[in-house]
Amino acid sequence: MNAKGMVRGKAPALLLGLGALVSSAVGWAGEGMSPERRMELVRLVRNDCGSCHGGRLKGGLGPALSPESLRDKVPEGLRETILHGRAGGAMPPWSDFLSAEEADWIVEQLMKGFPNAR
Amino acid sequence: MRASWPLLLASLLIAGCSTVPPRGTGDLGVVIERDAGRVQVVDTTARASLGRVNGLGDLSHASVVFARDGRYAYVFGRDGGLTKVDLLLRRIDRRVMQAGNSIGGAISQDGRFVAAQNYAPGGVKVFDAVTLAPVADIPAVYGNGRLSKVVGLADAPGNRFVFSLFDAGEIWVADLADPAHPAITKFPAGKQPYDGLITPDGRHYIAGLFGEDGLALLDLWHPEQGVRRILDGYGRGEQKLPLYKMPHLRGWAVAGTRAYLPAIGRHEILVVDTQSWQETARIPVAGQPVFAIVRPDGRQVWVSFAFPDNQHVQVIDTESGRLVRTLEPGQAVLHLEFTPRGEAVWVSSRDDGKVTVYDTARLEKLAELPAAAPSGIFFTHRAGRTGF
């Protein structure tokens, strides 16, 4: 079972539009990722990270993931938290579902304001 | 008083024409269309959508309770919006923004008060069910004046609300005998209660603990006995399994003398005897359970799962304690709701944009309804039940 099974693209037109939007926002991370995969990651973050952090990433049982709340964080530390979880905390490891590059891309997007899935 | 009868009659007729034909609401419900910030009003007899009500804000993790006349749905949005939706006219009756970050609510035994549980500012707010005017504010203060996130809010007999404080590790009981000045009784519960449920008779409140290997039980007939630990050492701490979604305890998982609880982090349903509160069995399931919901007659328990196993729904036969069927209704199953007497169940599949209706005896699909990223499904028969 992997993330691909559950976060699936829907309308090709929507995907293309979002792909373009997301690409334009990409810096060094995620260069090798397809627009479809980026879209899957956007949905994964909104839906599955959203279970604890809120669908709008404003926090829930888990902390907010807005640019303001992440401003003082070190990106590499956030990547490690995403991939390996937090010992003693509720954050699970996502390394079964995400590569390091994908985690970096997610961190970058979170820190600049995460794209919408629509 | 002198009134013009023809005029009065005419205005009544006009008023009558602007409304829908009379009908009951016992077979109505709502489906949350999460990303669109709206609900569909559905008819469980016709298995059809009657229309949509827009403008409800951020509905991620939205939940719903019903006025006891079954006409109004109170929709609790994540952004703190509390919206009273008229199911018959299919429009917003009232709406207030009551908090910054909210996680659901409850309605009092007498139907007069709606309570919302909030993460920010942490606490419970109580509103008049008719007008949504504020009635009471219960900040979840602990330690050095900090506010705790509130979870597991349930209505209890005696016009009480019971809820858990995630950060404070407490269970509070608020008695609304004097609605504007709720009397609060506080109980230590254990580390990080993440959700709670009340049994169908309204007697026992159970909080699941994220930070400890067990659950907290409060007997509301004997609150003086305090909170008891149950299922101590069921395996939460055996091996810290990563948890991809917190289980939901809310909604009854009690059938006869047994309760069916999602084991946190484990691919198991725990079966608990509700007399002794001892574990009697464990049922292995397809993933980490999120919802374990009993069919109204108690014969089946339907289970939904966390990522990455959330395309499955499994059905447990309560008599044999065995899995009888694994269904795959669609991608990202988020919720399921039985019709009032349970001949059918509605299942939402967020990523496939549909709600699937199953016959619960034959375990066959009866219908599919399109819905935009559907999450919660709530039917009006909740209005008459404790804990819904």
pLDDT for residue B8 is more than 70: no
Tell me how long chain B is.
Answer: 388
Whether a cis peptide bond, with omega within 30° of 0, leads into B308 is yes
B117, B194, B351, B352: best to mutate for the A interface, most A CBs within 10 A: B351
pLDDT for residue B224 is more than 60: yes
B111 or A90, greater pLDDT: B111
The pLDDT value given to residue B116:
98
Which DSSP string corresponds to B222-238?
A: -GGG-EEEESTTSSTTT
pLDDT for residue B208 is more than 60: yes
Pairwise CA distance, residues B131 & B300, whole Å: 39
Instruction: Write the single-letter amino acid at B316.
Output: I
The pLDDT value given to residue B240:
62
CA dihedral A30, A32, A38, A41 (to 10 degrees): -70
Q: Which residue has the tokens 């090709």?
A: A12
pLDDT for residue B363 is more than 60: yes
Check CB contact under 8 Å for B246 and A85. Answer: no
A48–chain B Cβ distance below 8 A for any pair: yes
The answer to whether residue A68 sits within a structural domain is yes
The pLDDT value given to residue A4:
40
Check CB contact under 8 Å for A6 and B60. Answer: no
B79 contacts in chain A (CB < 8 Å)? 56, 58
The answer to whether residue A85 sits within a structural domain is yes
CATH number, domain containing residue A74: 1.10.760.10
A88 or B66, greater pLDDT: B66
The pLDDT value given to residue A1:
39
B120–chain A Cβ distance below 8 A for any pair: yes
The answer to whether residue A117 sits within a structural domain is no
Pairwise CA distance, residues A86 & A105, whole Å: 19
B350 contacts in chain A (CB < 8 Å)? 47
The pLDDT value given to residue A15:
43
Check CB contact under 8 Å for B79 and A60. Answer: no
Task: Evaluate the CA torsion angle A91, B281, B311, B330 in order and state its sign.
Answer: negative
The answer to whether residue A118 sits within a structural domain is no
pLDDT for residue B239 is more than 80: no
Return the percentage of chain A with pLDDT > 90, whole number: 58
Among candidate residues B109, B102, B68, the one with its CA nearest the CA of residue B83: B102
Instruction: Report, as an integer, the average pLDDT of B167-173.
Output: 97
pLDDT (tens digit per residue) in B185-202: 999 999 999 999 999 999
Domain containing B204: what range? 98-244
Check CB contact under 8 Å for B310 and A10. Answer: no
Full strand arrangement of the beta sheet holding B322-327: B289-294, B300-305, B313-317, B322-327
B34 contacts in chain A (CB < 8 Å)? 55
The answer to whether residue B48 sits within a structural domain is no
A61–chain B Cβ distance below 8 A for any pair: yes
A65–chain B Cβ distance below 8 A for any pair: no
A5 contacts in chain B (CB < 8 Å)? 308, 311, 331
Phi-psi region of B22 (alpha: psi -120 to 50; beta: other; left: phi over 0): beta
Task: Evaluate the CA torsion angle B7, B12, B16, B19 in order and state its sign.
Answer: positive
pLDDT for residue A17 is more than 50: no
The pLDDT value given to residue B267:
94
- How buried is B332 (Cβ within 10 angstroms: 0-12 exposed, 13-18 middle, 19+ buried)? buried
**Chain-wide mean pLDDT for chain A?**
80
The answer to whether residue A2 sits within a structural domain is no
pLDDT for residue B381 is more than 80: yes
CATH number, domain containing residue B118: 2.130.10.10
Nearest to A56 among B58, B149, B311 (CB): B58
pLDDT for residue B12 is more than 60: no
pLDDT category, B327, cuts 50, 70, 90? very high
Pairwise CA distance, residues B74 & B113, whole Å: 11
Domain containing A83: what range? 11-25+33-112
The answer to whether residue B183 sits within a structural domain is yes
Lowest mean per-residue pLDDT among A13-22, B96-105, B365-374 = A13-22
Nearest to B101 among A47, A59, A93 (CB): A59
The pLDDT value given to residue B252:
62
The pLDDT value given to residue B5:
55
Q: Which of residues 68-87 of B touch A (CB under 8 A)?
A: 78-79
Check CB contact under 8 Å for B310 and A6. Answer: yes
| Residues pairing with B234 in the sheet | none
| Residues pairing with B196 in the sheet | B207
A61 contacts in chain B (CB < 8 Å)? 119, 149, 151, 166, 194, 246
pLDDT category, A2, cuts 50, 70, 90? very low
Which residues contact residue B84 at a Cβ distance below 8 angstroms, ignoring those fewer than 6 apart? Answer: B67, B72, B73, B74, B75, B92, B93, B94, B95, B132
B246 contacts in chain A (CB < 8 Å)? 51-52, 61, 90
Check CB contact under 8 Å for B308 and A2. Answer: yes
Between the alpha carbon of residue B101 and those of residues B57, B59, B115, B124, B319, the distances in Å are 12, 11, 14, 12, 41
Which residues contact residue B266 at a Cβ distance below 8 angstroms, ignoring those fewer than 6 apart? Answer: B235, B236, B241, B288
Return the percentage of chain B with pLDDT > 70, whole number: 93
A54 or B51, greater pLDDT: B51
Note the helical H segments in chain B. Answer: 5-17
A8–chain B Cβ distance below 8 A for any pair: yes
**Number of CB atoms found within 10 A of residue A47's CB:** 25
pLDDT for residue B121 is more than 60: yes
The pLDDT value given to residue A22:
47
pLDDT for residue B218 is more than 80: yes
Pairwise CA distance, residues B39 & B346, whole Å: 15
Domain count for chain A, please give it: 1
Check CB contact under 8 Å for A56 and B246. Answer: no
B265 or A81, greater pLDDT: A81
**Number of CB atoms found within 10 A of residue A72's CB:** 6
pLDDT for residue B228 is more than 70: yes
The pLDDT value given to residue A18:
47
**Chain-wide mean pLDDT for chain B?**
92
Check CB contact under 8 Å for B101 and A60. Answer: yes
Domain count for chain B, please give it: 1
Lowest mean per-residue pLDDT among A31-40, A103-112, B175-184 = A31-40
pLDDT category, B7, cuts 50, 70, 90? low
**Number of CB atoms found within 10 A of residue B367's CB:** 14
CA-nearest residue to B307 within chain A is: A48
Instruction: Report, as an integer, the average pLDDT of B287-298.
Output: 94
CA of A51 vs chain B CAs: smallest distance (Å): 6
Q: Which residue has the tokens 């709600």?
A: B355
The pLDDT value given to residue A30:
75
pLDDT for residue A9 is more than 80: no
Tell me how long chain A is.
Answer: 118
pLDDT for residue B104 is more than 70: yes
How high is the ipTM of this complex? 0.77
